[in-house]
Amino acid sequence: MTTTAGVELRGWLSSTLLGRLPDSAGADVLRAGEERDFSAEDVLMRQGDQDDHVLLLLDGLVKVIADSEPGQKVLLGIRVGGDVVGEMAALERAARMATVTACRPGRALFIRRPLLDELMITYPVLAVQLAATISGRLRKADERCVDITSYGSLTRLSRALISILASHGARKGLRWRLDIELNQAEIGSLVGLKKRTAEKCFKELRDNGVIECEWRVVEVIDMPRLRRIADDRQ
pLDDT, tens digit (0-9, with 9 covering 90-100), for 200-223: 999 999 999 999 988 778 999 999
pLDDT for 3 equals: 33
Query: Alpha-carbon distance 178 to 27, whole Å?
Result: 32
Boundaries of every domain in the chain: 17-139, 151-230
Query: Alpha-carbon distance 131 to 124, whole Å?
Result: 11
pLDDT for 1 equals: 37
Query: Alpha-carbon distance 102 to 43, whole Å?
Result: 6
Task: Provide the b/e sequence for 148-185 (b: ≥16 CB within 10 Å).
Answer: eeebebbbbbbbbbbbbbeebbeeeeeebbbebebbbb
Residues written for the chain? 234
Fold of 17-139: Jelly Rolls (2.60.120)
User: What residues contact 82, with CB distance under 8 A and at least 6 apart?
Assistant: 12, 13, 16, 17, 18, 19, 56, 57
pLDDT for 179 equals: 82
Fold of 151-230: Arc Repressor Mutant, subunit A (1.10.10)
Q: In terms of Cα–Cα distance, which of 226, 62, 66, 56 is closest to 155?
A: 226
* Residue 123 C-alpha from the chain's centroid: 26
The alpha-helical segments, DSSP class H, found in the chain are 17-20, 23-32, 87-92, 113-122, 124-150, 153-168, 184-189, 195-207, 223-230
pLDDT for 6 equals: 43
Task: Provide the b/e sequence for 219-228 (b: ≥16 CB within 10 Å).
Answer: ebbbbebbee
Regions of the chain short of the pLDDT cut 50: 1-8
Query: Alpha-carbon distance 160 to 144, whole Å?
Result: 9
**What angle, 0 to 180 degrees and rounded to 10, lies between the N-to-C axes of helices 113-122 and 23-32?**
160
Taken in order 205, 209, 212, 213, the sign of the CA dihedral is positive
pLDDT for 10 equals: 56
